[in-house]
Chain A
Amino acid sequence: MTSSWLTFNPVFPLWAIALLTLPIFAFFIWREIKRPHKFLLARIIAQLLVLISILGLLIQPSYREQQTESSILLLTPSYDKLKVDSLLKVNSSFKIIRMKEAKTYANSEVLTSYHNLAKIGRDIKIVTGQGLPEYALELLKQKDFKFIPAPFPHGVTELSIPKQTVVNKRSTVKGIFNAFGKTKLKLIGPAGGEDSVTFNSSGQFPFDLSFKPKLSGLFVYELSIQDGASTTLEKLPLEVMPEQKQKILILEKFPTAEVRYLKNYLTEKGHSLALRHQISKTDFKYEFANLNSTRIDRLTPEVGETFDLIFIDDKVLAEFSASEKNYLESAVQNGLGVVILSDDFSEKDKTFKRLLPIKTKQLATDTIQLRLGHSKLYTIPFVPVEIAPNASIQPILQHKGRVLSGYLYSGAGKVGFQLLTETYRISLEGNEDDYAFIWSDLIERTARSKNEMFKISLVNDFPYYSDEPLTLDIISSGTQPSLYENNNSIPLEEDVIIDDYWHGKSWAGKPGWNKLITQDSTQFNYFVSNENEWRSLRLVNQIKANMLVQSSDSGTNDSIQFIHQPIPILIFFLIFLFASGFLWLAPKI
């Protein structure tokens, strides 16, 4: 409820108060007139004062006040003096507060502690420079300031460290570098340089540095930044995961070299493998590698559950009984991965179409020349079809916009396809890496993913520093998670809207690798950097965070602002005390 200069914040609805108080007021005044005592006028006034003070307590009035001096301009490090000058020209009433680290400015006060922000928070209208750290931003209750950022500092301004680095698999560290002059970035692993890139001029440059870890574990690589004579080393934490072995079933109509080499490759890598192919109308040949023999003569629900991935020949699929087809489809719905090997995508039975709902166009050529990663040029035969663009296809290997291998989601599982045939030639040429490049991604991404109870992630961006807050998200699979760091439990709250989605907050431990553990000993490792590391990245993160929270309206044009200042209820209480004291005293005089 507002009026021009007075506003009320009634505790109860205003009409109820009026209904209740007016008769009481009338009654009390009438009683006072009736009393045979002196000072009638004074008593009536006192009585009125009592009533007004009670009303004041109930409806809590506040008055409007023009705000003039309380606009604060906060200077943070690297602010632009010229910008501040021109801001002051527009509005000279700004009070200037600067952070300790910022350069001095005429008539500026120093902000001694971030905790003072809570007090002056809502008066801050403009923040300029590198902004406030994220944890300081949290102290601001009202964030309606305008942020005028400083230019990005020189150094790494964006960095993405691969979340899942698997041993023996090439991974890439990507980022953006803000270079001033010729700069060389070098990724240094345990055995020395892994990859490097040189920028010859100033500006923002994207970079990616690749490496192939030989060992799983927690490692700290180094990123050396060499510009001119100076070299800085930044610690780059990498968690290298061991290879998780898979259970794979291969069903084919007749033996082929392609499957034979695929089998050898997977067996050599230690995966469990079962293989079935037909050698005559009634006879089959079974092979089990790194696996005890099980029954795979028929596709049963057990088979669907045992294996993570089934390679299946389109001819075998066509010969499946109705029940087998049903089992296969329901297994895929429940998470099984299937890769269909086919040399013909036209005129297929319904199951094939349901599993792999793709449209194809026949092509004239049956070979393709492509480079795998950084490999040489290979000429590889492929199934001469072009897959019609379809948003649901997740491509894995592409060549000139044409999908050569990929997969589609089907329930919780995935169905993959591979158009390249005779890839074993690459293996025969001794290029194991390139052969693995073709198959490992397809298998890895199509196969059933391992179920884990909790998935922990950090909301904050790398880098993390000691004693700074970390915001955690946990996705659980039904159970309530409990999270521990150094045997201390971290309180978690479930998301108000989303089930099984938990939030928590912790403070980063000491520099180096730290770990969070859940009750089922799921471990989450994070790396805490030293105070002097990754400065540029940290500042850029900070600038970005400030830009995100700034208010959309500019703080400069409203030169006059009004606020409603509540009348302190203590005043009403004192009036009440004084007036009722007089009423008590009056008969005795």
Chain B
Amino acid sequence: MNAEEIRYRLSKLKWRYLLLRLLEISLLALATFLLTDALASLWVSPSAQKTLLSALAALTVFVLRFFHYRLHKLGVQFFIRYLNESYPQLKESADLLISDDDQLTTLQQLQKEKTFQGFNTLYPDIKLPNHIKQSFGILVVCAAAYFVLSAFAAGDKQQDIKSIIQKKEIKPISSDTTVAFITSLTIEIIPPAYTQLKPFPSSDFNLSLPEGSRVKWLVEFSGEVSNPKILFSGRDSSNLLKKNSPIFSNEQVITESGFYQLQWRAQNKIYNSDYYKIETTKDQSPKITIDNLTQFTKLSITDNLNVDVKSTLGDDYGLKDAFITATVSKGSGEGIKFREEKIRFSKPEKVVGKSVNATVTLNLKKLGLDPGDELYFYVEAFDNKMPSANHHRTETFFIALQDTTTEITSADEGLGVDLMPEYFRSQRQIIIDTEKLLREKKKITKQIFNSTSNELGYDQKVLRLRYGQFMGEEAESGIAQEAVHYDDEQEADPTKQFGHQHDTENEHNLVDQKKGVAPGHVHANELKDPDEKEDPAKAFMHNHDDSEEATFFIQSVKAKLKAALTIMWDAELYLRLYEPEKSLPYQYKVLNLLKEISNDSRIYVHRTGFDPPPLKEEKRLTADLSEVKTNTNRYTNTTEENYPDIRQALLDIEKSLQMNPVSVSKANLTAFSKAGQELSVVAIEQPAVYLKTLSLLKALADQQVKQEDLRESLMAVRKSLWKVLPQESTSPAQHQSTKSELDQLFLQSLEEVKHD
């Protein structure tokens, strides 16, 4: 038995306990700190006060818990009691462990021996009381609360701005401390009323504001100044008005991006502030979509003639008004009449707000549409911008009421230029012939039937090619070549019927061209651009322009014509497959489309073609060149080298950078200020990019850059100025060479060798 050992173990237990409790209390204190800090940020603003308050709360919790656990009076007795209470196997005899043997009876000594053994076996498993887990849980909860609350508190930080701003001092970059400088600058931005944005102070001297905002500057100087003003974009200036010395103010309505600078005079010297940028955000035009209609709607008289128009309208600040402009076109040919009408949305009646879903039902009958008539309409919306509102309109939508009573076979009377010649009858003719062929099917032999069907297919093809010309498809050769390939197609490739076969005459051309290349000759097309993979034919074409776009037609007509051409392919296919009955429905579809196209064509009545001036018959072919004379034109290229001063400044910077600059030389000062003038023009366009350089350049020109910063400033300016210079294409330069006697001799002997 060793009393020392017991004491040692007990003191170890004590330290362990102390550590556990301290950790627990610290966690709690930290949790308290976070919670208090988060709560305080909702009411108390300065962070120093907040921290102090939180620290106090944490300390209080720490001290309370410390004394609660009586950690200051921690003795052996505490553990003896704890052991006795928690571990029955010690039989309440733990206090014997610390008693001296001399004072114990034999029985007690015996018991002590037993207890000691028990204690020894127990010792490694002794669990000391603590609430670390609970404390940790509380800390996690408080930390979460802290983050949530501080996120809310961030919204209120704007209130601090004024105080922050007032701490910023704007000094003219000068070592002279006696000079008056700006002690505070408060900027308030009042967005235009229509935006319904609240006035707000700007935390930054670089302003970002809605177009048309009113900006109030309140400037306080440290001393007496005269003639303070604000310079805008290096051009306009506006004097600051004295409120009560030394506070000045100014108000301006800002309509465009740029930059500004404060300038004041003190002690007969002019001081400038740094440059600050102004960025305006433009008011966007309203955005309108019609959700439930396609651009072309075709109705027959038996359909429901109430058409719902559902439109979504939106604007960044708010809409003021929106309506539908509808035009009813009646009649045909030269007898066409238009009537325009303004239709208001029925729900909501007045379109106001940032985003509106508006609907209206167009009653075609009420609008006076008869079969054959068309309704064109578009939605137009205005926003609340003052003084002139932005407006925007949708594309024109078409609703056509089909005419079922008459068939218009020709609609080209209205055309100034005869764009649609006899072709319209052809489709009709093909239909008549096909129907006739079907009627006679039983009377004629199969061979004649097939042959006639194939011929009709050819007619269909010719028709398609002719329409294709309208679309700018250059395939005239196809018509002529048909005769040649005709026979080939008679003994058709059996696989053709099963394959998905498009017309091959164009492909044939391509193959031909390839074959035409001489075997020894390497055609340039071998060098293929990997980017052009999607269109292998491109390499073979003289692609002047997009042929699709090079027609007289607008998109809608083109789309219809394209559709008609596609259907013609199918019509032809079945004719070629000797199945005219399957071809007929396609032919009818084509006919319908062609009729529509011819109806659409009247929209272009007023787009007549070029009217050449009349030729003077008496002058034609006389070979009279008397008015053609020798003439001389002289001109000089007046475009001067752009940015001469920036170029000069760049060279100066390069030179001084190479010589480890200590100061800016006088010659460079003028170069820098001149370059600054040129740069300011560029900076108006792109203040975000060049404003910093402009400030630096100004500081350099005013000799206000510290010596140790000089190199870096020069590098920054050089980088920016170099970017201002435009990329230009190469110009042939003249080479230089010396002309020595030796060259002459060499050339002479070379010539002699040549002649020999």
Please report A residues at the B interface, Cβ cutoff 8 Å. Answer: 164, 166, 168-170, 189-192, 212, 214-215, 217-220, 241, 243-246, 266-271, 279-280, 282-293, 308, 333, 335, 363-365, 367-371, 376-377, 379, 399-400, 411-412, 432-433, 435-437, 439-445, 447-455, 475-478, 498-501, 512-513
A168 contacts B650, CB within 8 Å? Answer: no
Closest approach, in angstroms, between the C-beta of B225 and any C-beta of chain A? 39
Contact residues, B732-756 vs A (CB, 8 A): 732-743, 747, 751
B527 contacts A449, CB within 8 Å? Answer: no
Say which residue of B521, B523, B629, B647 sits within 8 Å of A215 (CB atoms): B647
Stretch at the interface among B230-238, B313-321, B550-558, B718-726: B718-726
Q: Using CB atoms, name the residue of chain A closest to B657.
A: A220
A286 contacts B632, CB within 8 Å? Answer: yes
A214 contacts B728, CB within 8 Å? Answer: yes
Query: Is residue B730 contacting chain A, with contact meaning CB distance below 8 A?
Result: yes
Query: Is residue B518 contacting chain A, with contact meaning CB distance below 8 A?
Result: yes
A365 to chain B: which residues have CB within 8 Å? 517, 521, 523-524
Q: Using CB atoms, name the residue of chain B closest to A368.
A: B524
Query: Can you spell out 6 A-B residue pairs with CB atoms less than 8 angstroms apart?
Result: A286-B633, A451-B737, A451-B739, A478-B740, A498-B742, A512-B659
A268 contacts B639, CB within 8 Å? Answer: yes
Query: Is residue B729 contacting chain A, with contact meaning CB distance below 8 A?
Result: yes
In the bound complex, CA of A441 to CA of B635 (Å): 25
Given A369-B539, A513-B658, residue A241 in contact with residue B737 (CB < 8 A): no
Closest approach, in angstroms, between the C-beta of B733 and any C-beta of chain A? 5
B731 contacts A271, CB within 8 Å? Answer: yes
Closest approach, in angstroms, between the C-beta of A383 and any C-beta of chain B? 14
Interface centre among A166, A189, A214, A499 (most CB of B within 10 A): A214
In the bound complex, CA of A394 to CA of B318 (Å): 70
B630 to chain A: which residues have CB within 8 Å? 279, 282-286
In the bound complex, CA of A544 to CA of B736 (Å): 31
Say which residue of A268, A478, A512 sits within 8 Å of B637 (CB atoms): A268
Beyond A364-B516, A369-B539, list 17 extra A-B contacts (CB 8 Å).
Answer: A168-B728, A191-B718, A217-B651, A217-B654, A220-B657, A220-B658, A245-B734, A266-B732, A284-B630, A377-B528, A439-B732, A444-B733, A447-B732, A451-B737, A498-B742, A499-B742, A501-B742
Query: Is residue B618 contacting chain A, with contact meaning CB distance below 8 A?
Result: no
Chain B interface size, under 10 / 10 to 19 / 20 to 34 / 35 or more: 35 or more
A452 contacts B736, CB within 8 Å? Answer: yes
Contact residues, B522-577 vs A (CB, 8 A): 522-525, 527-529, 531-532, 539
Query: Is residue B631 contacting chain A, with contact meaning CB distance below 8 A?
Result: yes
B527 contacts A169, CB within 8 Å? Answer: no
B629 contacts A512, CB within 8 Å? Answer: no
Closest approach, in angstroms, between the C-beta of A514 and any C-beta of chain B? 11
A448 to chain B: which residues have CB within 8 Å? 734
Say which residue of A267, A291, A376, A379 sits within 8 Å of B524 (CB atoms): A379
In the bound complex, CA of A164 to CA of B733 (Å): 10
B492 to chain A: which residues have CB within 8 Å? none
A435 to chain B: which residues have CB within 8 Å? 729
Closest approach, in angstroms, between the C-beta of A475 and any C-beta of chain B? 5
Closest approach, in angstroms, between the C-beta of A558 and any C-beta of chain B? 44
A268 to chain B: which residues have CB within 8 Å? 637, 639
B633 to chain A: which residues have CB within 8 Å? 285-288
Closest approach, in angstroms, between the C-beta of A210 and any C-beta of chain B? 13
In the bound complex, CA of A285 to CA of B634 (Å): 11
Query: Is residue B447 contacting chain A, with contact meaning CB distance below 8 A?
Result: no
In the bound complex, CA of A289 to CA of B747 (Å): 34
A500 contacts B741, CB within 8 Å? Answer: yes
In the bound complex, CA of A453 to CA of B736 (Å): 10
In the bound complex, CA of A411 to CA of B525 (Å): 39
> What are the 6 closest A-B residue pairs judged by CB atoms, nearest first?
A244-B734, A369-B524, A443-B732, A269-B731, A191-B722, A444-B732
Q: Using CB atoms, name the residue of chain A closest to B538.
A: A379
A477 contacts B725, CB within 8 Å? Answer: no
Closest approach, in angstroms, between the C-beta of A215 and any C-beta of chain B? 6
In the bound complex, CA of A325 to CA of B625 (Å): 30
Query: Is residue B504 contacting chain A, with contact meaning CB distance below 8 A?
Result: no
Say which residue of B632, B657, B727, B740 sits within 8 Å of A476 (CB atoms): B740
A-B contact count (CB 8 A): 203
Closest approach, in angstroms, between the C-beta of A112 and any C-beta of chain B? 34
Q: Using CB atoms, name the residue of chain A closest to B728.
A: A168
Closest approach, in angstroms, between the C-beta of B397 and any C-beta of chain A? 37
Say which residue of B521, B632, B657, B741 sits within 8 Å of A287 (CB atoms): B632
A499 contacts B740, CB within 8 Å? Answer: yes
In the bound complex, CA of A169 to CA of B517 (Å): 38
B747 to chain A: which residues have CB within 8 Å? 333, 411-412
Closest approach, in angstroms, between the C-beta of A42 and any C-beta of chain B? 72
Please report B residues at the A interface, Cβ cutoff 8 Å. Answer: 516-518, 521-525, 527-529, 531-532, 539, 625, 628-637, 639, 647, 650-651, 654-655, 657-659, 718-719, 722-723, 725-743, 747, 751
Given A270-B731, A439-B732, residue A364 in contact with residue B738 (CB < 8 A): no
A169 contacts B719, CB within 8 Å? Answer: no
Say which residue of B523, B524, B631, B659 sits within 8 Å of A286 (CB atoms): B631
Closest approach, in angstroms, between the C-beta of B472 and any C-beta of chain A? 20
B531 to chain A: which residues have CB within 8 Å? 376
B728 to chain A: which residues have CB within 8 Å? 168, 214
In the bound complex, CA of A379 to CA of B8 (Å): 97
Say which residue of B628, B629, B738 sits within 8 Å of A477 (CB atoms): B738
Q: Using CB atoms, name the residue of chain A closest to B740.
A: A500
B523 to chain A: which residues have CB within 8 Å? 365
A364 contacts B518, CB within 8 Å? Answer: yes
A218 to chain B: which residues have CB within 8 Å? 654-655, 658
In the bound complex, CA of A449 to CA of B732 (Å): 12
A288 contacts B634, CB within 8 Å? Answer: yes
B518 contacts A449, CB within 8 Å? Answer: no
Given A444-B732, A445-B735, A477-B739, residue A363 in contact with residue B719 (CB < 8 A): no
B731 contacts A290, CB within 8 Å? Answer: no
A433 to chain B: which residues have CB within 8 Å? 729-730
B634 contacts A293, CB within 8 Å? Answer: yes
Given A191-B719, A214-B722, residue A243 in contact with residue B733 (CB < 8 A): yes
B628 to chain A: which residues have CB within 8 Å? 279-280, 283
Interface centre among A170, A285, A376 (most CB of B within 10 A): A285
In the bound complex, CA of A31 to CA of B747 (Å): 75
A191 contacts B723, CB within 8 Å? Answer: yes
A444 contacts B734, CB within 8 Å? Answer: yes
A369 to chain B: which residues have CB within 8 Å? 524-525, 527, 539
Given A189-B722, A439-B732, A450-B736, residue A512 in contact with residue B658 (CB < 8 A): yes
A212 contacts B727, CB within 8 Å? Answer: yes
Q: Using CB atoms, name the residue of chain B closest to A386.
A: B521
Interface centre among B516, B739, B743 (most CB of A within 10 A): B739
A512 to chain B: which residues have CB within 8 Å? 658-659
Interface centre among B516, B639, B732 (most CB of A within 10 A): B732
In the bound complex, CA of A551 to CA of B647 (Å): 54
B654 contacts A190, CB within 8 Å? Answer: yes
A444 to chain B: which residues have CB within 8 Å? 732-735
B723 to chain A: which residues have CB within 8 Å? 191
A399 to chain B: which residues have CB within 8 Å? 524
Closest approach, in angstroms, between the C-beta of B293 and any C-beta of chain A? 40
B730 contacts A308, CB within 8 Å? Answer: no
In the bound complex, CA of A308 to CA of B517 (Å): 41
A215 contacts B650, CB within 8 Å? Answer: yes
Say which residue of A245, A283, A289, A478 sits within 8 Å of B741 (CB atoms): A478
In the bound complex, CA of A289 to CA of B631 (Å): 14
B516 to chain A: which residues have CB within 8 Å? 364
Given A364-B517, A377-B532, residue A440 in contact with residue B737 (CB < 8 A): no
Closest approach, in angstroms, between the C-beta of A305 and any C-beta of chain B? 14
A168 contacts B735, CB within 8 Å? Answer: no
Q: Using CB atoms, name the residue of chain A closest to B532.
A: A377
Q: Using CB atoms, name the residue of chain A closest to B655.
A: A218
A370 to chain B: which residues have CB within 8 Å? 524, 527
B529 to chain A: which residues have CB within 8 Å? 376-377
B742 contacts A293, CB within 8 Å? Answer: no
